[in-house]
């Protein structure tokens, strides 16, 4: 995993569709408060491993901060590919790490220039997933209309 993408950073070579998944660990603060930070760290390491195992070599997994992660999927031509990745991650996180995740998905349009705009859309979708009951994914409404 790498450090966080700088806000406002240009996507200089964005010539194809892509997707951004904004992910956080459900009830993570409660885990830290109940079981301690060592257990919280163990969960973060496990979910990071799960993200790496369930993405392609060209995808980028970033720990965005705290219990938040971003996955950049390049050369994705439909929302279905991003949804399939989200489904695999959700299933594996329950099966292997015993934890739930909330995932927001936003599509990246060819020629789109700023990471922060895409992250904002994916974050909005993540809040929608949490509002619908956590442990699930939601697609930003613009992507859902495609």
Measure CA 8 to chain center: 18
CA 131 to chain centre: 16
- C-alpha to C-alpha distance for 138 and 104, rounded to whole angstroms: 5
**Of 118, 139, 143, 121, residue with least CA distance to 9:** 118
Angle at 28 between CA 118 and CA 127, to 5 degrees: 35
- Rounded-to-integer distance, Cα 10 and Cα 5, Å: 10
- Catalytic amino acids? 67
């Amino acid at each position: 995993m790498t450090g966080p993408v700088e806000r406002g950073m240009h996507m200089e070579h964005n010539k194809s569709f892509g997707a951004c998944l904004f992910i956080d660990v459900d009830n993570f603060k409660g885990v830290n408060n109940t079981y301690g930070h060592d257990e919280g760290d163990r969960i973060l390491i496990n979910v990071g491993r799960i993200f790496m195992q369930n993405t392609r070599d060209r995808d980028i997994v970033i720990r965005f901060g705290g219990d938040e992660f971003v996955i950049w999927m390049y050369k994705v031509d439909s929302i279905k590919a991003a949804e399939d990745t989200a489904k695999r991650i959700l299933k594996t996180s329950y099966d292997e790490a015993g934890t739930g995740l909330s995932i927001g998905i936003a599509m990246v349009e060819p020629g789109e220039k700023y990471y922060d705009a895409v992250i904002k859309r994916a974050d909005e979708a993540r809040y929608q997933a949490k509002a619908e009951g956590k442990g699930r994914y939601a697609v930003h409404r613009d992507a859902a209309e495609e």
